[in-house]
Amino acid sequence: MRTWESNVRKVTPYVPGEQPNKPDMIKLNTNENPYPPAPGVRRAMKEFDPDCLRLYPDPGASALTEALAEYCKVKPEQVFIGVGSDDVLAMAFLTFFNSDRPILFPDITYSFYPVWAEAFRIPCRTLPLDEKFRIVTDDYLQDNGGIIFPNPNAPTGLAMGLSEVEKIVQNNKDSVVIVDEAYVDFGAESAVSLIDTYENLLVVQTFSKSRSMAGMRIGFALGSPVLIKYLNDFKHSFNSYTMNQTSLKYGVEAVRDQAYFQETVEKIVRTREHAKEVLGEMGFTFPDSKANFLFITHPDYEAKELFEALREREIYVRYFQSPGIDKYLRVTIGTDEQMEALYTFLREYIKK
């Protein structure tokens, strides 16, 4: 090893889903929304004045903060904006998880959590899901330096009830509890209603899934004013201009069009519930997802082989070669037409 390499901070990186770019592909592997952003976003793109790009963006992201505060029925000082929820979560790890005690999160969950813990030298302890892939609430009632979990969880899609979330928050008042709600709009109950009661609760959401804006990288956190102030202080300690002009402008338009938002979310939910029926008839089993994806397995077919066969047909799903979940595929809910193409392939494959 060269001398300078001994001082390099080495981590095992997060592996994002494949991003193929083929004209006729069916992309069901990264939980993107199959529908376009709100019409107001398209109008804002046409009206955007590029001359503003010579100026720094608003460091407080005021217009987007106020739009989100109004939508979420909270005060602006309870909203934090970041470059996608990954940026928000990374800042939250650095800001709030600084104890010698380990932070807690599920052993089967969003695979970025252990990456951040390793990168930031945060001690951590993973807690097993039960035999049905459910988070065991009582396991989180132990000494810790912080807690984070998604609701619904990923990659299982299972959601916890609000009373279970509150039990964890209520019994951990000496540490910050982060609820990652990337998929909450597709069927789970948000914990935002609890932030005025528990100042140790931080709720993180994203524009990448239900608002069809994964490419703009907009995420946000909601919490008590004291938590949000700490996050902003940390953000401004290294970069005050995290959000670009276009993201701020288009983000506001996405929040304003609630009718379109509800329409597309309802489409995805309907397609998801139909997919459960169709895949169930083929012999697949899966947890009862409340997200925009299904976590499927079949007793007669290996997940890896099925993943590769789908990929050859340019139908992309996600396969995790990890203990406990290597018999499953995560399938994003696409349009009805995309899902029908998936069903057609699976029916043909199963007949072999």
pLDDT in tens, 250-261: 999 999 999 999
Contact indicator for 268, 33 with CB cutoff of 8 Å: yes
pLDDT at 189: 97
Confidence of residue 2 (pLDDT cuts 50, 70, 90): confident
Contact indicator for 69, 258 with CB cutoff of 8 Å: no
| % of residues, the chain, pLDDT over 90 | 91
- The two tokens of residue 309 are 């066969």
Answer whether residue 198 shows pLDDT above 80. Answer: yes
- The two tokens of residue 127 are 């807690």
210-217: average pLDDT: 96
Judge residue 259's burial from the number of C-beta atoms within 10 Å of its C-beta, 0-12 exposed, 13-18 middle, 19 or more buried. exposed
Could you say which of 3.30.450.40, 3.40.640.10, 1.20.140.10, 3.30.30.10 is the CATH number of the domain covering 39-256? 3.40.640.10
Tell me: the pLDDT tens digits for 27-54? 999 999 999 999 999 999 999 999 999 9
Tell me: the pLDDT tens digits for 302-342? 999 999 999 999 999 999 988 899 999 999 999 999 999 99
| % of residues, the chain, pLDDT over 70 | 99
Answer whether residue 352 shows pLDDT above 70. Answer: no
Answer whether residue 241 shows pLDDT above 90. Answer: no
Distance, in Å, from the CA atom of 166 to the CA atom of 137, rounded to the nearest integer, reads 10
Tell me: the pLDDT tens digits for 169-196? 999 999 999 999 999 999 999 999 999 9
The enclosing H or E element of 127 equals: strand 124-127
Confidence of residue 23 (pLDDT cuts 50, 70, 90): confident
Q: What angle do CA 189, 195, 200 make, to 5 degrees?
A: 120
Distance, in Å, from the CA atom of 312 to the CA atom of 175, rounded to the nearest integer, reads 47
pLDDT at 225: 98
70, 73, 77, 78 alpha-carbon torsion, rounded to 10°: -130
Q: Given the structure tokens 């459960």, which residue do they identify?
A: 276
Query: What does DSSP say about strands 177-180 and 201-206: parallel, antiparallel, or unpaired?
Result: parallel
pTM for this one?
Answer: 0.96
**At 331, phi and psi to the nearest 5?**
-115, 115
Distance, in Å, from the CA atom of 99 to the CA atom of 272, rounded to the nearest integer, reads 41
Query: How many beta carbons lie within 10 A of that of residue 1, not counting itself?
Result: 6
pLDDT at 270: 98
Query: What is the fold, at CATH topology level, of the domain defined by 17-37+259-351?
Result: Aspartate Aminotransferase, domain 1 (3.90.1150)
Contact indicator for 71, 258 with CB cutoff of 8 Å: yes
Contact indicator for 96, 146 with CB cutoff of 8 Å: yes
> What counts of helices (H) and strands (E) characterise the chain?
10, 12
340-348: average pLDDT: 97
Confidence of residue 351 (pLDDT cuts 50, 70, 90): confident
* Cα radius of gyration rounded to whole Å, the chain: 21
Tell me: the pLDDT tens digits for 243-252? 999 999 999 9
Q: Which residues belong to CATH 3.90.1150.10 in the chain?
A: 17-37+259-351
Confidence of residue 85 (pLDDT cuts 50, 70, 90): very high
pLDDT at 51: 94
Answer whether residue 128 shows pLDDT above 70. Answer: yes
- Listed residue (180, 228, 230, 173) closest to 204, CA to CA: 180
Among the listed ranges 123-127, 128-132, 238-242, which one has the minimum average pLDDT value? 238-242
Buried b / exposed e across 295-319, counting CB within 10 Å, b at 16+? Answer: bbbbeebebeebbebbbeeebbbbb
Distance, in Å, from the CA atom of 24 to the CA atom of 148, rounded to the nearest integer, reads 38
